[in-house]
C-alpha cells in the first residue's frame, strides 16, 4: 500500500493512513539512494510497520526539504520582520529551478503604514506574479488560498515570524499550529515551527515549514540568467545565447535597465544573486 510521509520522528517516519497517523520504520537493510523525506510516497510491508520501497519523486525542494510539492506560498510580512526583496527574488528563482509554481503572500497589513509597502511591488505586478494578502486581525477571505490548494501539495515558506502558521490556522482553526512571536531584541521571529509537517486539507496537503533567512542557490550563473523572475521572457532576445546580462554586447536586459523598463533595483538584486551562483558544475 502507498502512503505518504507526513513528518520525521527522530529517525522514524510518521505516515498517514485514512486520517490516522502512524510511526513506521525504515529497515537499515533497505537499499535506497536517498533517505525518504516529508512528502515522499512509500510502500509499507504487510504488517504496515516497515517501509519497503520509496517511490520516485515527482518534485524535490531541498530547503525546506520536501518531496512531491506542486506549489509554494512565499510568505512575506510588510513589517516585523521587514520585507526583503532580495530574499523573495532568491526564493522565486529557487522555486523556478525546482519547477514549482508560487504565490507571493504579504502579511501584517494591519501593522503596516504606507511607507512600509515595498516599492518593488510594482515590479511584481508588471511580472504578473500571483499575489495574495493576509491580515490576521482584520479577517481574511481564505477562499483564494483554498482555490490554490485544492488537490495540490502546497508549502508555506518564508522567514521566521512572517505568519506561515497563522495562515494555516486561519484556513482551519482545528489545525492549532503553534504561533510564535516577533522579538524586537533579535529583530526576527523566534523559530516557532521547527519541523516540516504535512496536513491534509481540501483534497490536497498543506506543509508548514520552519522559517529561514537565506538560501544557497543551487543553479549555475547561466541558469539564473533565465530563472530570475521576469527574465524567462528574454530568452533568445540577447545577442549571445549564454548572455549573463552583465557587460555582453547586445544584451536586451541591460538595454531595458537603461530604458527604465526593468528597475535598477531589480537588476542590482539579480547581480547580487548571480555573484552567489557557480560558473560551472563541480564534480567531486
Ligand X SMILES: Nc1nc2c(ncn2[C@@H]2O[C@H](COP(=O)(O)OP(=O)(O)OP(=O)(O)O)[C@@H](O)[C@H]2O)c(=O)[nH]1
Q: Interface with ligand X by CB under 6 A: which residues?
A: 107-108, 110-111, 134-137, 158, 160-166, 179-182, 189-193, 210-211
111 binds, among Zn ion, ligand X, Mg ion, none (CB under 5 to 8 A by kind): ligand X
Euclidean distance between CA atoms 82 and 97, whole angstroms: 26
The answer to whether 8 touches 195, Cβ cutoff 8 Å, is yes
Euclidean distance between CA atoms 160 and 182, whole angstroms: 8
Residue 238 makes contact with Zn ion by CB under 5 A: yes
49 binds, among Mg ion, Zn ion, ligand X, none (CB under 5 to 8 A by kind): none
Euclidean distance between CA atoms 235 and 252, whole angstroms: 10
Q: Which residues bind Mg ion (CB under 5 A)?
A: 164-165, 192-193
182 binds, among Zn ion, Mg ion, ligand X, none (CB under 5 to 8 A by kind): ligand X
Cβ distance to ligand X smaller for residue 53 or 110 = 110
Cβ distance to ligand X smaller for residue 158 or 230 = 158
Q: In the complex, what is the shortest distance from the CB of residue 108 to ligand X, in angstroms, rounded to a whole number?
A: 4
Backbone angles phi, psi at 112, to 5 degrees: -95, 140
The answer to whether 58 touches 100, Cβ cutoff 8 Å, is no
Euclidean distance between CA atoms 273 and 277, whole angstroms: 7
Question: CA quadruple 130, 243, 262, 79: dihedral positive or negative?
Answer: positive
Q: In the complex, what is the shortest distance from the CB of residue 163 to Mg ion, in angstroms, rounded to a whole number?
A: 8
The answer to whether 76 touches 92, Cβ cutoff 8 Å, is no
68 binds, among ligand X, Mg ion, Zn ion, none (CB under 5 to 8 A by kind): none
Residue 253 makes contact with Zn ion by CB under 5 A: yes
163 binds, among Mg ion, ligand X, Zn ion, none (CB under 5 to 8 A by kind): ligand X
Amino acid at each position: 500500500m502507498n502512503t505518504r510521509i507526513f513528518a520525521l520522528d527522530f529517525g522514524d517516519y510518521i505516515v498517514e493512513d485514512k486520517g490516522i497517523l502512524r510511526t513506521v520504520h525504515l529497515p537499515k537493510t533497505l537499499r535506497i539512494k536517498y533517505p525518504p523525506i516529508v512528502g515522499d510516497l512509500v510502500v509499507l510491508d504487510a504488517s504496515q510497520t516497515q517501509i519497503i520501497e520509496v517511490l520516485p519523486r515527482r518534485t524535490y525542494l531541498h530547503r525546506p526539504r520536501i518531496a512531491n510539492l506542486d506549489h509554494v506560498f512565499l510568505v512575506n510580512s510588510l513589517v516585523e520582520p521587514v520585507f526583503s526583496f532580495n530574499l523573495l527574488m532568491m526564493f522565486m528563482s529557487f522555486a523556478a529551478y525546482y519547477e514549482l509554481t508560487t504565490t507571493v503572500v504579504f502579511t501584517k497589513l494591519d501593522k503596516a503604514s504606507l511607507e512600509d509597502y515595498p516599492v518593488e511591488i510594482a515590479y511584481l505586478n508588471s511580472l504578473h506574479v500571483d499575489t495574495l494578502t493576509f491580515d490576521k486581525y482584520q479577517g481574511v477571505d481564505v477562499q483564494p488560498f483554498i482555490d490554490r490548494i485544492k488537490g495540490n501539495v502546497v508549502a508555506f515558506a518564508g522567514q521566521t515570524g512572517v505568519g506561515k502558521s497563522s495562515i494555516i490556522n486561519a484556513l482551519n482553526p482545528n489545525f492549532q499550529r503553534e504561533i510564535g512571536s516577533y522579538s524586537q531584541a533579535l529583530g526576527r521571529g523566534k523559530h516557532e515551527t521547527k519541523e516540516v509537517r504535512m496536513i491534509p486539507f481540501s483534497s490536497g496537503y498543506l506543509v508548514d515549514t520552519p522559517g529561514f533567512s537565506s538560501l544557497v542557490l543551487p543553479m549555475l550563473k547561466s541558469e539564473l540568467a533565465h530563472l530570475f523572475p521576469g527574465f524567462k521572457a528574454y530568452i533568445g532576445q540577447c545577442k549571445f545565447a549564454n548572455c549573463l546580462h552583465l557587460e555582453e554586447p547586445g544584451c536586451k536586459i541591460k538595454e531595458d535597465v537603461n530604458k527604465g523598463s526593468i528597475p535598477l533595483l531589480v537588476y542590482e538584486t539579480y547581480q547580487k544573486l548571480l555573484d552567489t551562483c557557480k560558473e560551472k558544475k563541480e564534480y567531486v
